[in-house]
Structure 1
């Protein structure tokens, strides 16, 4: 993985978190709280999984196991 791809995935994770909050906020206007949480959960868990993956990749790069290439 190169640095550009790592940054793109970081922005994607941030965007998914924002989408999760927007989905929950807008769906709470029309639907009950529990249903709104169920609608926002998939994007939140996708963002959480992506953040965990990026953290593991960054930690492996920090310790020199799997480097993140410059190019």
Structure 2
């Protein structure tokens, strides 16, 4: 596949898009397994809890 880039001041430049070896052989690249919905929910809840802990620490500090 080729892409052409043209500026109004310069002549067009042609770029070729290289394919990886996996695409040429028809082999799919290895993918990381997606976290389950339960794992994702736990991660979000843990982040929320950590944020709440930080807020509580700040509120416990004296104002002056």
- Relative to the length of structure 1, the TM-score reads 0.36
Higher relative contact order (CA 8 A, sep 6+): 1
**Which has a greater percent of helix?**
1
User: Hey, which of these two has a bigger chunk of strand by percent?
Assistant: 2
TM-score by length of 2: 0.40
